[in-house]
Amino acid sequence: MPSWNHYSNVRSLLTASLFFLMACSSSQKGGQGSREKLISISISEGIAGSVIFKQGEFDATGKLSSEEGVLYGVERKVYIYAQTNIRAVDIAEGDFVNNIYEQLIDSMESNPEGYFEKKLKPGKYSLFILENNRLYSKMDEEGFYFPVTVNKDSVSMMKLEIDYKAVY
């Protein structure tokens, strides 16, 4: 009989497939159709997700609200740090930071459609995106920057939105 971990991994893969079917469109403009892709995750422990650039007008739920808005996956370098809160950075303007005073763990590149995955050991991490030679990240309600927890034998899904050119 398969173990609980087996069912957990199958559930994680199904969830990941649905996530990317809905979230990883390469381009969406003005609410028009999008190209949908089913992404296959090749790691069994770490993080996977997409880097999405948002520009234009969006409603309070984050959906496009005008024909001028765009939402698409982008190729960016993503830095992985030990979990980082607001006290461990020098804040710049908006969601940009100048310096990070936590340990740099690793880095990765998202592909041209914005997809990324990285094998990581279980632990708590923060992600920062290199955007126009500056570091970009969003805080959660507890003051941690793009936080993610990696559990043993699982892949944590992330959708990293770059939205400094978006209006809500």
Which pLDDT tens digit goes with each residue over 26-50? 344 444 334 445 678 999 999 999 9
For residue 167, CA distances in Å to 16, 36, 58, 102, 164 come to 28, 25, 6, 31, 8
Considering the chain, what is the average pLDDT of its residues?
Answer: 84
What is the residue-wise DSSP string for 88-125?
A: GEEE-STTEEEEE-S-EEEEEE--TTSEEEEE--SEEE
pLDDT of 3: 44
Check: CATH 2.60.40.10 for 4-167?
yes
* Structural domain boundaries in the chain: 4-167
**pLDDT class of 4 with cuts at 50, 70, 90:** very low
Where in the chain does DSSP place strands (E)? 28-29, 46-57, 70-73, 77-82, 89-91, 96-100, 104-109, 115-119, 123-131, 134-136, 147-150, 155-167
- Mean pLDDT of the region 90-105: 97
Q: What is the DSSP letter of 66?
A: S
Q: Please state the rounded mean pLDDT for residues 104-132.
A: 98
Per-residue pLDDT reduced to its tens digit, 47-72: 999 999 999 998 888 888 877 789 99
Least trusted range by pLDDT, from 15-24, 74-83, 105-114: 15-24
